[in-house]
């Protein structure tokens, strides 16, 4: 036995009830105004004003849904009441309510709809002014006041509309900038993560292909290195791509790697893998007090070292390089120096590489500094300084030199 769902029926009933209630309130508004003006004794000005103020709530819902019919009903009620020559308090109240209705339409609807509401409002107010004014001078002054009040309502509504549209444009631009920034971040991560691994794999594959017939043990070592590097790269890819997908587990899918993003603590492992996999010895030097730094700075510093070492492996034509990581009082600096063939940064950019571009973007986002170029004594040098907001605690400076072989 299946039960009929209750909530869809309530939702449909609510969808029917709200428009019906809005129309009933709008249609009842002129009659409610007339009853309010005629109620009580002749000297009950306060009572009539209060009842008229309560009646002005009736067309609000219809004004939000259907502004032009609501405006027409409000103007009918206004003209019928003002023809009864009510007190000045009621006149001011009805003029204010009509101007506020025009303000609401101007702020929320297209200009042609706003004009269709404002022009009849002005005409009805002009026609009604003859019933509660005496003398041409008073009539003209009243028309000027009514016109200025309606213009003020129009300008306020237009200002609200422009501010709302400007806010929408700003939100759209902010969303587009956020998407572009995220695309650049993902592009940098993928490039920095894959470029080093592919460089190592290419070198090991070349070594293996040359010695597979004469030195099978060396070829086997190259294949093992390729396998290890590939697995590490795949884990990083799963972690990066996992952030772009929904977090709910997919049945049968391989779980996303939850390992933390790499940082300067992984530079030693990078140096060891580069030495073992690519045959480039990395001399690693640590200076200053090693400490925890913000994750974005830690990741960027590591990626800069990784990309610089990758460029040494791919372009320098040397068998060694030196990596220096220094923790200062207000910044962390990394430096990668080699004694290879060296080249100008512009030559690297013209070659179509994105490594230096990614370094500059990372450093720029963190308000740091980057220098990259050939050395006078030969080779190439990449150095980056990244500001760290957390000051160093303590005064001791520890210096340690590690060499990854």
The angle formed by the CA atoms of residues 293, 294 and 295, to the nearest 5 degrees, is: 115
Task: Give the Cα separation of 70 and 25 in Å (integer).
Answer: 10
**pLDDT at 390 (0 to 100):** 58
* Beta carbons of 62 and 25 less than 8 angstroms apart: yes
| pLDDT value for 243 | 60
CB 256 within 8 A of CB 296: no
Closest CA to 157 of 108, 124, 229, 203: 108
Predicted pLDDT at 347 = 58
The pLDDT value given to residue 99: 92
Q: How many CA atoms lie within 13 A of 109 on its CB side?
A: 21
pTM (whole model) above 0.85: no
Q: Which residues contact 72 (CB under 8 A, 6 or more apart)?
A: 120
The predicted pLDDT at position 389 comes to 82
* Positions in the chain short of pLDDT 50: 1-4, 247, 250, 253-254, 256-258, 351-352, 392-405
CB atoms within 10 A of CB 205: 14
CB 285 within 8 A of CB 267: no
The count of C-alpha atoms lying within 13 angstroms of the C-alpha of 250, restricted to the half-sphere facing its C-beta, is 8
Write out the E strands in 21-114: none
- Token pair, residue 278, equals 């690519």
Q: According to the model, what pLDDT value does residue 280 have? A: 85
Please write the tens of the pLDDT for every residue from 163-205.
999 998 998 888 888 878 777 777 777 776 676 677 677 777 7
Cβ count near 150 (within 10 Å): 20
For the chain, what are the domain ranges?
A: 6-132, 260-405
DSSP letter for each residue of 190-233: HHHHHHHHHHHHHHHHHHHHHHTTT-HHHHHHHHHHHHHHHHHH
Asked if 346 and 309 count as a contact pair (C-beta separation under 8 A), the reply is no
Name the residue among 294, 325, 296 with its Cα closest to residue 308: 325
Cβ atoms of 395 and 306 closer than 8 Å: no
Closest by CA to 267, choosing from 230, 309, 225, 212, is 309
Class of domain 260-405: alpha beta
102-120 b/e with 16+ CB inside 10 Å = b?
bbbbbbbbeeeebebbbeb
Q: Are residues 119 and 83 in contact, defined by beta-carbon separation less than 8 angstroms?
A: no
CA distance to 205, 213, 227, 238, per residue, from 202 (Å): 5, 18, 12, 22
257 contacts: CB under 8 Å, gap ≥ 6: 235, 236, 238, 239, 242
């Amino acid at each position: 036995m299946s039960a009929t769902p209750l909530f869809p029926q309530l939702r449909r009933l609510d969808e029917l009830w709200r428009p019906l209630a809005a129309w009933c309130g709008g249609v009842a508004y002129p009659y409610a105004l007339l009853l309010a003006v005629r109620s009580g004794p002749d000297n009950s000005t306060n009572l009539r004003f209060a009842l008229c103020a309560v009646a002005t709530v009736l067309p609000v819902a219809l004004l939000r849904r259907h502004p032009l019919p609501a405006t027409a009903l409000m103007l009918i009620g206004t003209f019928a009441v003002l023809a009864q020559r009510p007190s000045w308090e009621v006149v001011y109240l009805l003029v204010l309510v009509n101007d506020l209705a025009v303000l609401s339409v101007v702020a929320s609807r297209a200009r042609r709809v706003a004009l269709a509401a404002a022009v009849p409002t002005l005409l009805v107010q002009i026609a009604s002014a003859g019933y509660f004014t005496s003398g041409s001078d008073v009539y003209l002054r009243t028309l000027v006041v009514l016109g200025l009040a309606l213009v003020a309502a129009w300008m306020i509504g237009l200002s609200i509309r422009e501010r709302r549209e400007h806010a929408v444009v700003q939100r759209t631009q902010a969303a587009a900038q956020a998407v572009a920034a995220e695309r650049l971040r993902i592009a940098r991560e993928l490039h920095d993560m894959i470029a080093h691994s592919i460089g190592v794999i290419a070198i090991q594959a070349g070594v293996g292909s040359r010695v597979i017939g004469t030195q099978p043990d060396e070829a086997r070592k190259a294949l093992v290195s390729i396998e290890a590097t590939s697995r590490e790269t795949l884990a990083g890819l799963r972690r990066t791509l996992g952030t772009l997908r929904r977090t709910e587990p997919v049945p049968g899918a391989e779980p996303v790697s939850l390992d933390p993003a790499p940082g300067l603590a992984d530079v030693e492992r990078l140096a060891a893998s580069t030495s073992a996999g690519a045959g480039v010895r990395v001399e690693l030097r640590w200076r200053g007090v090693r400490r925890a730094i913000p994750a974005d700075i830690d990741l960027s510093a590591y990626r800069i070292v990784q990309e610089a070492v990758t460029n040494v492996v791919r372009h320098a034509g040397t068998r060694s390089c030196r990596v220096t990581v220094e923790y200062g009082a207000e910044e962390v600096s990394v430096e990668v120096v080699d004694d290879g063939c060296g080249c100008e940064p512009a030559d690297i950019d013209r070659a179509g590489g994105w490594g230096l571009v990614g370094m500059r973007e990372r450093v720029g986002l963190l308000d740091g500094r980057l220098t990259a170029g050939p050395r006078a004594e030969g080779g190439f040098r990449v150095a980056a300084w990244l500001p760290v907001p957390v000051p160093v605690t303590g005064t001791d400076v520890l210096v340690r030199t590690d060499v990854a072989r």
